[in-house]
Amino acid sequence: MALLVQKYGGTSVGTTERIEAVAKKIKKFKDNGDDVVIVVSAMSGETNRLLSLSGSISDEPEGRELDVLLSTGEQVTIALLSMALNKISCPSKSYTGGQVSIRTDNAHTKARIVDIDVRKLREDLDAGLVVVVAGFQGVDAEKNITTLGRGGSDTTAVALAAVLEADECQIYTDVDGVYTTDPRVVDSARRMDEITFEEMIEMASLGSKVLQIRAVEFAGKYNVPLRVLSSFKDGSGTLITVDRGNEMEQVAVSGVAFNRDEAKLTIVGVPDIPGIASKILRPISDQNIEVDMIVQNVGLDKKTDFTFTVHRSDYKRAKSVLDEVCKKLGAEKAMGDSNIAKVSIVGVGMRSHAGVATKMFEVLSDEGINIQMISTSEIKISVVIDEKYVELAVRTLHSAFDLSAETA
């Protein structure tokens, strides 16, 4: 008998039929003697629908009101799933984030969990109930509803598993595990039996949205056994682990991630003097715009070019700030490009393998793909390329680093 926290994503609860199928699946665990706490997302497409409703009223809705709106999606699914469970004689009770209570800070639309009171959940579990909790939401100290950022139900599940000291946190989704790259882009992508926390955090933050980054960080920090599995077919999925098994240490690259959510900005011909980077980036960060990659060239004529990337949704604002900076610093011009993509290779094995970057660059150049920016860490190499080549780049790298199912 185990204590399991299971999270079912949007597609898995996308219709009432699917909700009933999930209820049947949960009942099997319960009949097997396991205690189960369930976390659900909104039905697929619902959060986007709510966002577009708010967008039709206001370009900049207040975070507080947006969270009241967005949290309704999950409230629908918890009630429906509890009804479906009760119908098949699997007694169940649903809770919103506030009712549990999942307390967060007050950063609306990207709140962080600070505390969870699990007394009620424990009482219900002891009474033999299946507890169904709304993902993605909490309440701040003033009882305002908050949400945890897109994909945040994963984090709700991991946080509950951590405080309940669950035996495993199982993320049920529409793919049967974590693959070497998005299986919807590369047919020959291979499911991994295991991936390390370190690699999963990199993959998630570089664009593989199969798990929310924060959920993986949380699981790593609190030692929560975390597994990604399919809602629709049986299998053992992918376990996120602390260490790689020995035989896997030979692999330099374990996955390819990509992200179309960024945009690139360049300021050309700025004076190459101390303090220039902060003069360019300070006004950007003052606008609460996060910067990802940064490249500054060496200037021969006491002038330099400075390039950085931001989230695509911040592109227009960042460009107008940079236009101002350009005037102030007497730079030649400010330019921008929102049709870029970031493609990354990830692997803890890179630490012990030389030449991985060279191979990556060669492979891309053989396909005629120009690299616009590069950034590296111990276990990843990212490049910025023209967005139109992203799928070609991902497929080519995936096969060049022998990640395909048939070559593994």
- Which residues sit at the interface with ligand ASP, rule CB under 6 A? 9-10, 41-42, 47, 73, 135-136, 150-154
Q: Which is nearer to ligand ADP, 138 or 207 (CB)?
A: 207
Q: Which does 178 bind (CB under 5 to 8 A by kind): ligand ASP, Mg ion, ligand ADP, none?
A: ligand ADP
Strand partners, 380: 346, 377
Q: How many residues bind ligand ADP (CB under 6 A)?
A: 19
Q: Which stretch binds ligand ADP (CB under 6 A): 20-28, 63-71, 132-140, 207-215?
A: 207-215
| Cα-based distances in Å from 149 to 32, 66, 68, 100, 392 | 34, 12, 13, 19, 30
**Burial bucket for residue 127 (CB in 10 Å: 0-12, 13-18, 19+):** exposed
Contacts of 361 (CB under 8 A, 6+ apart): 371, 383
Question: Is residue 3 within 8 Å of residue 34, measured between CB atoms?
Answer: yes
DSSP β-bridge partners for residue 87: none
- Across 20-45, b (16+ Cβ under 10 Å) vs e yields bbbbebbbebbeeebbbbbbbbbbbe
152 binds, among ligand ASP, ligand ADP, Mg ion, none (CB under 5 to 8 A by kind): ligand ASP
Find the residue with minimal CB distance to ligand ADP.
Answer: 9
**99 close to 135: Cβ distance less than 8 angstroms:** no
Q: Name which of 179 and 218 has its Cβ closer to ligand ADP.
A: 179
Q: Can you tell me which of 98, 135, 138, 151 binds Mg ion, judged by CB under 5 A?
A: 151
State in angstroms the smallest separation of the CB of 40 from ligand ASP.
Answer: 9
Instruction: Indicate the residue among 148 and 267 with the shorter CB distance to Mg ion.
Output: 148
Of 154 and 305, CB closest to ligand ASP: 154
Nearer to ligand ADP (CB atom), residue 215 or residue 326: 215
Per rule CB under 5 A, is residue 14 in the interface with Mg ion? no
Regarding 98 and contact with ligand ADP (CB under 6 A), the answer is no
Q: Which is nearer to ligand ASP, 90 or 133 (CB)?
A: 133
Q: Is 353 in the site for ligand ADP (CB under 6 A)?
A: no
- For residues 397 and 74, give the distance between their C-alpha atoms in angstroms, rounded to a whole number: 38
Name the one range near Mg ion by CB under 5 A: 7-15, 55-63, 296-304, 306-314. 7-15
CA-based nearest residue to 231, from 299, 169, 270, 177: 177
Query: If contact means CB under 5 to 8 A according to the sort of partner, which of ligand ADP, Mg ion, ligand ASP, none does residue 176 touch?
Result: none
Q: Which amino acid is at 99?
A: Q
* Spatial separation of the C-alpha atoms in residues 221 and 200, rounded to whole Å: 13
**Judged by CB under 6 A, which of 4, 5, 6, 9 binds ligand ADP?**
9
According to DSSP, residue 179 is labeled B
Q: Does 39 bind ligand ADP (CB under 6 A)?
A: no
3-class SS of residue 182: coil
Please check whether residue 216 is in contact with residue 226, taking contact to mean a CB–CB distance below 8 angstroms.
yes
Q: Which is nearer to ligand ASP, 136 or 308 (CB)?
A: 136
Q: According to the binding rule CB under 5 A, does residue 73 interact with Mg ion? A: no
Instruction: Tabulate helix, strand, coil % of the chain (nearest 5).
Output: 40, 25, 35
- Is 173 a binding residue for ligand ADP by CB under 6 A? The answer is yes
Q: Which two tokens stand for residue 298?
A: 């060496």
Q: Which residues bind ligand ADP (CB under 6 A)?
A: 9-12, 41, 151, 173-175, 178-179, 181-184, 203, 208-210
